[in-house]
Amino acid sequence: MDCSVVAAAASLQLRAWADGLTPELRVAFDAVTAGSGLHADAGAEAYLANLSQPVVLLPLWFADGLPDDVVVAVIGSALAGYLAVRLHDDWMDEARGDPTEAMLLGTALLARSSSLAGEHVSDPRWWRLHAELWQAYAEAMAFERLVVGQRVPYDLAAFQLVLRRSEPLLLPAAALLVARGRWHDVERARGLVQATVRAHQHFDDLRDALGDFREGRRTWLIAQADVGDAGAFMQWLLRGGADMALGQADAELDLALAAAADLELPAAEVWLLERRRAMWAWHGKVVGRYLAAALA
């Protein structure tokens, strides 16, 4: 089944589910989907791009040989879980939206995510993993509040702990592995997910670096710069900080590529290589532009 077809089908089902929400929660749903790229015109297809978080693609890499309805349901699970996380993140990071609606709609989305995957997974090992990873998500989000509030130092260990908020991305892929009788590959899939997430975060922090600095957001990239004003931060980026961040992302892509090869996922390898090319193309264009402006 074609990736874009699966994505479109899962997105349509999600919007049909949203039609049954109360007006208050439907407004909140429309707001979070508009902000996430999952609006009516784009749908889940927005997450097929090579610089996006591979919310849809990760499970699709593990879907060979499964019935279309199973794959669409599990992609729907991935989308619902992702939107729940976006609701929490938008409120906690930017106080965007209503906190009560974020809590209530987030709860409904997480229930839908669990239900869609659970229709096709009876293995208790998957359900134990489900509990483990959503607990890790909650603990990581709580810890991130300490980091943002400058109540703990932002070092490499803190960065790695914060990234545990993305671990539920493994669950849809793990559900499809269970459906194919390949539970033994779940830990290797975890390695692929973790390396891909770290690569994404290093690059995302670089893309958003100037805005994050101006808004006073704490990121691992800004912590490594350790400078006090925007001008000094820009100079740090141009004098090697941006290269360092891309190098960190690149190293994680190496790990992800090794994991994809080990799992015999050629589509994942192709996407990861395309991502690498897109990252460095962005870097050359943007850093080159700022360097030209600085030398003018």
Q: pLDDT tens digits, residue range 137-157?
A: 999 999 999 998 889 999 999
Quick one: pLDDT at residue 228? 87
pLDDT confidence of residue 252: 98
**What percentage of the chain has pLDDT greater than the value 70?**
92
Q: What residue type is 84 in one-letter code?
A: A
Q: How far apart are the first and last CA of the chain?
A: 52
Token code pair at residue 158: 């803190």
The domain limits of the chain are 1-139, 182-296
- According to the model, what pLDDT value does residue 132 have? 97
- The string of pLDDT tens digits covering residues 230-289 is 889 999 999 999 999 999 999 999 999 999 999 999 999 999 999 999 999 999 888 777
What is residue 106's predicted lDDT score, i.e. its pLDDT?
93
Mean pLDDT by 10 residues, the chain (296 residues): 83 93 92 69 63 90 94 95 89 75 92 94 95 96 91 94 95 96 97 96 94 91 93 91 96 98 97 96 84 57
What is the predicted pLDDT for the residue at 292? 61
Q: What is the pTM of this model?
A: 0.92
Cα–Cα separations (whole angstroms), residue 44 to 79, 123, 127, 157, 202? 8, 27, 25, 33, 23
